[in-house]
């Protein structure tokens, strides 16, 4: 009688569904870092409470609103929760949508809060 001692190895891939575009996203980026936003549209879900620390009960959609560049040169995506208005920052991942990142980065130059004609009088 033969024993059937085959072990089953399962690959556990942590994924989430984007709250905005519905894409199924791996929680591990291509550079093996943890991600918490969609690489396609950069939206996220409000699951951490950065003010109080720990998990958040909000679970609202986090919309990408800006790019910040740290002193180290690392780019961060700034998100605002559409439900409670909390702001968060998350590192840009190597496979994030470069077109959306650049659009957010140049938006302050393309839409300044003052008339560009003011530079002509300086």
Kindly list the domain boundaries of the chain, sorted by start residue: 15-109
Residue whose tokens read 């399962």: 10
With CA atoms as reference, report the closest residue to 60 among 39, 95, 86.
86
**Could you give the residue ranges of the DSSP H alpha helices within 5-53?**
none
CA distances from residue 43 to 5, 51, 53 in whole angstroms, order as listed: 45, 20, 21
Per-residue pLDDT of the chain (122 residues; tens, 9 = 90+): 445 555 555 555 688 888 889 889 888 887 778 888 999 999 998 887 666 666 678 888 999 999 999 999 999 999 999 999 999 999 999 899 999 999 999 998 888 888 878 777 76
Can you give the pLDDT at residue 4? 53
With CA atoms as reference, report the closest residue to 44 among 93, 3, 108.
93
Beta bridge mates, 69: 75
């Amino acid at each position: 009688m033969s024993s059937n001692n085959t072990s089953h190895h399962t690959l556990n891939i942590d994924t989430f569904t984007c709250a905005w575009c519905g894409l199924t996203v791996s929680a591990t980026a291509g550079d093996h870092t943890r991600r918490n936003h969609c690489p396609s549209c950069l939206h996220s879900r409000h699951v951490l409470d950065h003010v109080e620390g720990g998990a958040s009960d909000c679970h609202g959609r986090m919309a990408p609103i800006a790019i910040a560049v740290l002193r180290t040169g690392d780019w961060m995506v700034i998100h605002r929760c559409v439900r409670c208005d909390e702001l968060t920052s998350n590192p840009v991942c190597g496979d994030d949508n470069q077109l959306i990142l650049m659009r957010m980065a140049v938006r302050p130059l393309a839409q300044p809060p003052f008339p560009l004609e003011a530079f002509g009088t300086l």
